[in-house]
Amino acid sequence: MIRFILRRVLGFIPVFLIIATLVFFLIRLAPGGPFMEGERHVPPEVLEQIRESYNLNAPLPQQYAMYMWDLVRGDLGPSMQQPSRTVSQWIVLRAPVSVELGFYSLIVALIIGLSAGIIASLRPNTLTDYIPMSIAMAGICMPTFVMGPLLVLIFALKFQWLPVSGWDAPAEKILPSITLGTVYAAYIARLARGGMFEVLAQDFIRTARAKGLSETRVVLRHALRGGLQPVISFLGPAAAGLLTGSFVVEKIFIIPGLGKQFVDAAFNRDYTMLMGAVLFYAVLILIFNLIVDVAQAWLDPRVRYD
């Protein structure tokens, strides 16, 4: 087990370096750069000086070597477009917000998704199945940029129960979490329904019922464990998706998370910030994949640690 994990972690290093290299050169292929003439002319001498101070005038291989050397020493450099802080400082400032948002959304997704899915699976092809599943289908289809403003319209502007935006007071965190969570709730509901449906049709459930167990006990004690397998394997990618895919929600609700920072960095050609964000996400996703692999091997004896 330990050897398995160690081997996987060692395997991260080349993956990480390949990602860093690819991103380093790819972003430099995009037209424009972090420092160029804007809507207003900037004297060429000034542009030259700015590029100089960020080492952008050096030949590309040299820039690459210097960046990688700094990276190995854990220095992600200053943000080119938001020079008030270094890239590492920005990530430390921003990532917790995205993680927090992702975490609440996951909770929302699990609560709504699991209850809807389980209820639907108990009476297949009846109204108690069709109604939650139709809502789930609508949830999958409804993008966050529609859901977010819609919730704001109802709960913030019409009833004035919750604030329109922000990420400071607890009340401000409700609507964004629901917005981001609903999409995943819909997936979870469908997966849970499918999984439960399959398990409930199996022999051991019939046996349990035949023993005279109450329906609640049959569902919670016996069916749930097997029925939720598809949901569990979905959670790995879902958690990564929640953490990295929060850009739209962060924009709608003006949440100072890393998603927005990441996309802005791409548009602004903030090379250092973009590299930092990509590498941070890469590490996060590598870790999540490792956890899923370990858990799968642990839950399913057919998967070996090699």
CA 196 – CA 224 distance, rounded (Å):
7
Choose between 156 and 205: whose C-beta lies nearer to other proteins: 156
Closest to other proteins by CB, 95 vs 133, is: 95
Decide if 259 contacts 100 (C-beta within 8 A).
no
Triad 116, 119, 121: Cα angle to 5°: 105
Residue 66 or 131: which CB sits closer to other proteins?
66
Cβ 280 vs Cβ 95: under 8 Å: yes
Half-sphere exposure in the Cβ direction for 29 (13 Å, CA) = 6
* Contact (Cβ atoms closer than 8 angstroms) between residue 172 and residue 115: no
Question: Is the Cβ of residue 51 or residue 128 nearer to other proteins in the bound state?
Answer: 51
Q: How far is the CB of 196 from other proteins (least distance, A)?
A: 14
User: Which of 136, 139, 133, 106 is CA-nearest to residue 121?
Assistant: 133
Q: What minimum distance in Å lies between the beta carbon of 104 and other proteins?
A: 9
Q: What minimum distance in Å lies between the beta carbon of 48 and other proteins?
A: 8
HSE-CB of 181 using CA atoms within 13 angstroms: 22
Q: From the CB of 291, what's the least distance to other proteins, in Å?
A: 7
Question: How many CA atoms are closer than 13 Å to the CA of 115, on its beta-carbon side?
Answer: 7
Q: Which is nearer to other proteins, 168 or 215 (CB)?
A: 168
Phi/psi class of residue 187: alpha, beta or left (left: φ > 0; alpha: ψ in -120 to 50)? Answer: alpha
Q: Is 135 or 142 the residue whose CB approaches other proteins more closely?
A: 142
Nearer Cβ to other proteins (6/36): 36
Least distance in Å: CB of 253 to other proteins? 7
Using only the alpha carbons of the chain, give its radius of gyration. Answer: 24
DSSP for 48-62, written as a single string: HHHHHHTT-SS-HHH
Q: From CA 142, how far away is CA 151, in angstroms rounded?
A: 12
Q: At what angle do helices 60-72 and 2-29 cross, to 10 degrees?
A: 150
Q: Cβ of residue 71: shortest distance to other proteins, in angstroms? A: 18
- Write down the least CB distance from residue 50 to other proteins, Å: 4
